[in-house]
């Protein structure tokens, strides 16, 4: 695929850009970055917008939301509101796109930044299980979806995809890294009857007592009974991968299973990028600043660079910029390990003056940041390295909604609060954690999900729409156990009607629903 289709129209890099690529790659390697082959493409803004709308993959399956995102980006660009400087996808070789009318300084910056990303994709542990041939995989997905569209019609397939997308955040992002108990299948349970004779070896009658001791047979029978008791809860353990559960047990036709599988594959492919947004952008920014300021900038480019970089790491009031926080925190880690500001002695020291001038000359900073990029994701990165001094230095605060004022106000600058808020935002990418707790609710084959309530309530009008879709996928009623306003409630949806234990649910604005012509 990499040589066919979209990329046949590839425009070669100009000699100037080729030279820059060679120079920057050599430079990056000299700093210790370790990246796979990276192919840069030069694109016009409408092409880069298209690729961005497709999440970096020009070979995605057809769906209206890509068209909508494209339209938004086109408008944004045409009105001068936004511009996509760069994009890189996690494949081998990695593809990166450069905007054709960027200045040379921008292109160098983007190349340096992109190599940071590619190094991260290649080495970070959370990306170990991603498919590096995703470009081909996406093309396969596309071919399959197109085939189903030919067979079943665009409306049917599209509305099915809409329903799948509606629950595509209900996955288990850690799944690729852990081998969990295999699911006991429903049919497997019902067909296994307790067989007292199981485990009995063939033996002549007079030897039977010795070859098959009765107590051992009894134990085997007991085990069977236990297993069956366990299996009567289905799934045996709450399962976070709702998509997989529906895929395996929902009432779906074959093509529907395949489409749901496609949506699930893609959700898992993109999950590590969402898990490492802060660290990944921080890492890439860390290296573009290093390379640009130390090696690549010409005198004439300094002002433009400073302007561009300031724009990248600017935190607008009230918004959180992963570039800024990631970059600053990595620099902080490097400085601390260079000066030896870690370990029990450092922790035990309470004298501010001593701490301020603390420098053991350890010089371990570079080594440490490379270790961080290898092993951490956003949650562990913030959890391990965010310090009180850092929060104060950078000026982080939490924001909260002031009902009376009707807007967000500064909540707290307290270290514990800031850290808690950051971690809450980054855990599970800010999505509520839902688990399948019962696949045979009320012995009617209905689906029960339980929300692990961690503070914020879920949004009821959205939950209603989503549950409606889930009920259709599952084929029977769906129940969601959660807490709203400190009260445990169970939401029900049977595909047409929604009840919420007497709670009042705001109508979703009709204008936001999709009505195809």
Partner 1 sequence: MILNIETDLNRFKQIVRGKVRKELKRYMSSGELIGKQGDKLVSIPLPEVRIPRIRYGENQTGGMGQGDGEQGESAEGGDGSQAGNAEGQHLLEAEISLEELAEIMGDELELPRIEPRSATQLSSERDKYTSISITGPEALRHNRRTYRNALKRQIASGSYNPSQPLVIPRKDDRRYRSWNTKNEPTSAAVVIYMMDVSGSMGREQKEIVRLEAFWIDTWLRHNYQNLETRFIIHDAVAKEVDRDTFFRTRESGGTLISSAYKLAMKMIEDDYPADQWNVYPFHFSDGDNWSAADTKSCLDLLENDMLPRVNQFSYGQVDSEYGSGQFYGDLGERMGEDERVAISRVPNRDGIMDSIKDFLGKGR
Site for partner 1 in 303-322 (CB under 8 A): 315-321
**From candidates 100, 237, 457, 494, binder to partner 1 by CB under 8 A:** 457
Distances (CA, A) of 154 to 150, 255, 405, 447, 503: 7, 13, 47, 29, 37
Can residue 394 be called a binding residue for partner 1 (CB under 8 A)?
A: yes
CB of 166 to partner 1, least distance (A): 5
Can residue 65 be called a binding residue for partner 1 (CB under 8 A)?
A: yes
**From candidates 11, 209, 228, 413, binder to partner 1 by CB under 8 A:** 413
Helix (H), strand (E), coil (C) string for 347-376: HHCCCHHHHHCCCCCCCCHHHHHHHHHHHC
Of the candidate spans 61-69, 261-269, 360-368, 371-379, the one that interacts with partner 1 by CB under 8 A turns out to be 61-69
179 vs 314: CA distance, rounded Å: 41
Closer CB to partner 1, 356 or 407, in the complex? 407
**From candidates 17, 84, 227, 424, binder to partner 1 by CB under 8 A:** 424
472 vs 87: CA distance, rounded Å: 36
Q: Which residue has the tokens 């999440």?
A: 55
Contact in structure between 139 and 267 (CB atoms under 8 Å): no
**From candidates 75, 151, 355, 392, binder to partner 1 by CB under 8 A:** 75
Q: Count the residues of the shown chain that bind partner 1, applying the rule CB under 8 A.
A: 88
Of the candidate spans 65-73, 97-105, 180-188, 233-241, the one that interacts with partner 1 by CB under 8 A turns out to be 65-73
- Positions 118 through 157 that interact with partner 1 (CB under 8 A): 154
**From candidates 91, 124, 169, 239, binder to partner 1 by CB under 8 A:** 169
Q: Label residue 152 exposed, middle or buried (CB < 10 Å: 0-12, 13-18, 19+).
A: middle
314 vs 91: CA distance, rounded Å: 29
CB of 100 to partner 1, least distance (A): 13
**From candidates 33, 94, 105, 418, binder to partner 1 by CB under 8 A:** 418
Can residue 412 be called a binding residue for partner 1 (CB under 8 A)?
A: yes
3-class SS at 288? helix
Contact in structure between 428 and 434 (CB atoms under 8 Å): no
Q: 302: which residues sit within 8 A by CB, 6+ positions away?
A: none
CB of 513 to partner 1, least distance (A): 7
Can residue 53 be called a binding residue for partner 1 (CB under 8 A)?
A: yes
CB of 409 to partner 1, least distance (A): 5
3-class SS at 499? strand
Of the candidate spans 191-199, 233-241, 256-264, 457-465, the one that interacts with partner 1 by CB under 8 A turns out to be 457-465
Closer CB to partner 1, 372 or 449, in the complex? 449
Q: Report the candidate in 73, 82, 76, 27 with the shortest Cα–Cα distance to residue 54.
A: 73
């Amino acid at each position: 695929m990499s040589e066919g289709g979209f990329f046949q129209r590839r425009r070669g890099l100009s000699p100037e850009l080729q030279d820059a690529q060679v120079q920057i790659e050599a430079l990056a390697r000299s700093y210790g970055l370790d990246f796979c082959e990276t192919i840069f493409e030069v694109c016009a803004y409408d092409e880069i917008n298209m690729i961005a709308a497709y999440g970096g993959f020009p070979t995605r399956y057809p769906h209206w939301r890509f068209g909508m995102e494209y339209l938004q980006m086109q408008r944004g660009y045409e009105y001068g509101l936004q511009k996509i400087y760069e994009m890189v996808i996690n494949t081998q070789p990695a593809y990166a796109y450069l905007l054709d009318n960027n200045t040379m300084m921008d292109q160098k910056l983007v190349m340096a930044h992109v190599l940071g990303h590619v190094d991260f994709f290649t080495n970070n542990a959370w990306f170990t299980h991603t498919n590096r041939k995703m470009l081909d995989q996406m093309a396969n997905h596309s071919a399959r979806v197109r085939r189903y569209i030919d067979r079943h019609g665009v409306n049917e397939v599209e509305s099915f995809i809409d329903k799948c997308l509606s629950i595509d955040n209900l996955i288990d992002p850690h799944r690729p890294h852990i081998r969990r108990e295999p699911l006991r299948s429903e049919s497997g349970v019902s067909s296994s009857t307790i067989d007292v004779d199981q485990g009995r070896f063939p033996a002549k009658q007079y030897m039977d007592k010795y070859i098959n001791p009765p107590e051992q047979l009894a134990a085997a029978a007991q085990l069977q009974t236990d297993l069956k008791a366990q299996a009567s809860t289905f799934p045996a353990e709450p399962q976070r991968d709702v998509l997989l559960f529906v895929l395996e047990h929902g009432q779906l036709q074959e093509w529907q299973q395949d489409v749901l599988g496609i949506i699930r594959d893609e959700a898992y492919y993109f999950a590590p990028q969402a898990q490492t947004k802060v660290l990944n952008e921080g890492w890439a920014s860390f290296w573009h600043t290093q390379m640009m300021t130390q090696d690549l900038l010409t005198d004439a480019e300094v002002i433009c660079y400073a302007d561009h970089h300031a724009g990248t790491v600017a935190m607008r009031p009230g918004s959180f910029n992963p570039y800024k926080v990631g970059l600053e925190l990595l620099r902080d880690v490097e400085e601390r390990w260079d000066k030896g500001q870690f370990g029990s002695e450092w922790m035990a020291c309470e004298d501010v003056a001593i701490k301020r001038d603390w420098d053991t000359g350890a010089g371990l900073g570079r080594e440490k940041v490379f270790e961080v990029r290898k092993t951490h994701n956003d949650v562990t990165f913030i959890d391990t390295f965010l310090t009180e001094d850092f929060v104060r230095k950078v000026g982080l605060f939490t924001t909260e909604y002031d009902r009376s004022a009707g807007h967000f106000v500064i909540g707290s600058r307290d270290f514990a609060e800031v850290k808690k808020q950051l971690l809450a935002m980054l855990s599970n990418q800010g999505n509520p954690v839902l688990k399948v707790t019962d696949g045979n609710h009320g012995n009617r084959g209905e689906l029960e999900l339980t929300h692990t309530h961690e503070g914020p309530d879920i949004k009821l009008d959205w939950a209603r729409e989503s549950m409606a879709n889930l009920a259709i996928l599952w084929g029977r009623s769906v129940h969601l156990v959660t807490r709203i306003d400190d009260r445990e409630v169970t939401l029900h949806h049977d595909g047409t009607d929604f009840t919420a234990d007497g709670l009042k649910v705001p109508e979703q604005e009709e204008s936001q629903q999709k009505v195809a012509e």
